[in-house]
A and B are shown apart, each in its own frame.
Chain A
């Protein structure tokens, strides 16, 4: 049995290209309040297979004492194999604010493609949130809360965006190292 599983693993790595994404969701800046946390996920096309690591998660709530930036230092370590370039991985992020009553409100959505160049990249991903009607905007000023997307695929998809009205929010800071293997075997220059 063992021999079989080793054999399948070898054949897998031989005819597929591999991608490692290792790094951190460092933190966030430019948001109106502190006490922020981040939900994240990685979305890929059908040709991509996850070999190891988790592709979604949530950070702790960071409440910095007097700094402008919230730090999460949330680790990311993912290993993919792929048969094609379509659907290159992208990271989607949701920044939430937790108020003093423990209520969570959405502060920003954003997505970013994982860089295709090997190496370490310091990335800055600006976020946005849906804007409600003016009644909702006034109520948000007093009691907080706000509209959220029903389907998260609008975060990283472009198809139905035209029905949305949004406003700019803060930025998420990321540090990702990309390691590629066997892409050159398929004539891919990265």
Chain B
């Protein structure tokens, strides 16, 4: 982290290292950032799509992405501190890509090395008839914009 007179910079280097998915395999992940009005990225990549990674059946059972993240933000004000939004997708039994989880976490607030575990969740259909059509067609409900997982409003009445 670097500080100037009124502008400060937040420099982030890291990776989406691995994921723990007991029931799923062959997953890829996407990331993007959600941040307030006073924040602006000055360098680096704001979003990315990883490779399709699978577990190793013999050794440990995590999915390894080892996917790099490098970005610098500038701001005058901590309000709207950036969050990283991660969504994970993989094939269902028919081979269609469906979402396996959404999650978000604030970028670390203190300098140094941090290891974060992001709990992931998927939305549920909001009515019985939608549940049935979703079962019939094999399409899971998805967020049209994954960035909603980084917002606090509009959560009431939603099941995940």
Q: Is B17 an interface residue (CB 8 A)?
A: yes
Minimal beta-carbon separation of B132 from chain A (angstroms):
33
B29 to chain A, nearest CB (A): 10
Quick one: which of A161, A163, A164, A168 contacts B64, CB cutoff 8 A?
A168
- Give complex CA distance A161, B69 in Å: 13
CA distance A32 to B58 in the complex (A): 8
B127 on the A face (CB < 8 A): no
Interface bin, chain B:
35 or more
Stretch at the interface among B46-54, B117-125, B138-146, B149-157: B46-54
Contact A86 B43 (CB under 8 A): yes
Contacts of B70 in A (CB 8 A): 86-88
B52 cross-chain contacts in A, Cβ below 8 A = 162, 164-166
- What 1/0 flags go to B39-67 for Cβ under 8 Å of A? 00001110011111111101110111111
A163-178 vs B: 1/0 string, CB under 8 Å? 1111111100000000
Interface size on A, residues (CB 8 A): 41
Q: Is B107 an interface residue (CB 8 A)?
A: no
Instruction: Please determine whether B59 and A161 come into contact, CB atoms closer than 8 angstroms.
Output: no
Question: Within 8 Å of chain B (Cβ to Cβ): is A147?
Answer: no
B128 CB contacts on chain A under 8 angstroms: none
Question: Does B64 lie within 8 Å of A166, measured CB to CB?
Answer: yes
Please, which residues of chain A bring their CB within 8 A of the CB of B60? 30, 168
Q: What per-residue 1/0 map shows which CB atoms of B1-26 lie under 8 Å from chain A?
A: 11110000101011101100000001
Contact of A190 with B111 in the complex, beta carbons under 8 Å = yes
- Cβ-closest chain A residue relative to B42: A86
Residue with the greatest number of chain B CB neighbours at <10 A, chosen from A30, A162, A168: A168
Q: Which residues of A contact B64 (CB under 8 A)?
A: 110, 126-128, 166, 168-169
B113 in the interface (beta carbon within 8 A): yes
Is there contact, CB below 8 Å, between B54 and A131? Answer: yes
- With A162-B28, A168-B54, A168-B63 already in contact, the answer to whether A188 and B2 are too (CB < 8 A) is yes
Q: Are B68 and A156 interface neighbours, CB within 8 A?
A: yes
Is there contact, CB below 8 Å, between A86 and B72? yes
Docked Cα-Cα span, A189 to B4, in Å, equals: 12
Chain A residue at minimal CB-CB distance from B60: A30
Q: From B28, B43, B66, B112, give the contact of A111 (CB < 8 A).
A: B66
Give bound CA distance, A187 to B4, whole Å: 7
| Bound CA–CA A170/B60 (angstroms) | 8
Question: Nearest chain-B residue to A163 (Cβ)?
Answer: B51
Specify which chain A residues have a CB less than 8 angstroms from the CB of B55 in the assembled complex. 167-168
Say yes or no: A116-B59 contact (C-beta < 8 A), given A127-B64, A128-B66. no
- Binary flags per residue of A109-139, CB closer than 8 Å to B gives 1, else 0: 1111101110001000111100100000000
